[in-house]
Amino acid sequence: MRKMRINKQKLTVTLLLAILIAFIPLGAAAPVGTSENATVEAANSWLGVKFVHGGNNTTTIDCSHLVYQVYSQVGAKGIFFQKVPDMKNNTDYVNTSSPAPGDVIFWQKDVTQNNKTYWLATHVGIYIGNNQFIDPSFDTKNVTTENITGVYEEGMPYFAKCPIFKRPSKFYCLSRNKDSS
C-alpha cells in the first residue's frame, strides 16, 4: 500500500508539473535575456559610457565592443569579438529590410559633413526601433541614442540579424569561429 501511495504522489506531481509547463507562454519559457526588450535594455545600460577606440569595459567602449558586450549580456552563446569589417563580412549575418529592435545596424559608406568625416563604413550600432539606434557617438563621444537621419542616413544604413538564432530566442552570433582579428 505504501509503495502505491508514493507512486500515486509521484504521478500526481509529475502530471501537475506537465500541466504547468504546458500552460507557460512560450515567451516566458525562453531563456533569460533573450527578448528584443532585453537586448534593448542591455544596450541602454551602456548609455553615457565614454567612446574610446579599442575600449571594452564600462568606463570606455567602442562600437564593435558595444555590440559584443550587449549580446554577451543577454546570454548569446558562442560569440567572439570581431572588428566591424569582419562583422560585415561574416556570412552568419543576414541583411533585412524590416529591422526589429535588437538587430545590428551597419553603414555602407563614410560621410563628410562640415569638414568632419564620419567613419560610418567601419561603424556599428544596435537598432532599438522607431528609426533609432544606440552607438558610441562620433559627436558626443559617449554611448547615446541617435536617429537615422542626416549623416547616418547618407551613410546608407542597413540592418542584419544572425539566422542561426530564430525569434523569439533573439540570440545573435558574431562569429562561429575564434577569429578575433
Average pLDDT by stretches of 10, the chain with 181 residues? 62 54 31 64 96 94 92 76 81 78 90 91 92 94 95 91 46 38 31
Positive or negative torsion for Cα 84, 170, 178, 42: positive
| CA distances to 9, 57, 103, 134 from 109, in Å | 66, 27, 19, 19
- Model pLDDT, residue 66: 94
- Model pLDDT, residue 129: 92
Q: What pTM, to 2 d.p., does this model score?
A: 0.71
- Model pLDDT, residue 81: 81
| CA distances to 79, 114, 155 from 107, in Å | 22, 19, 6
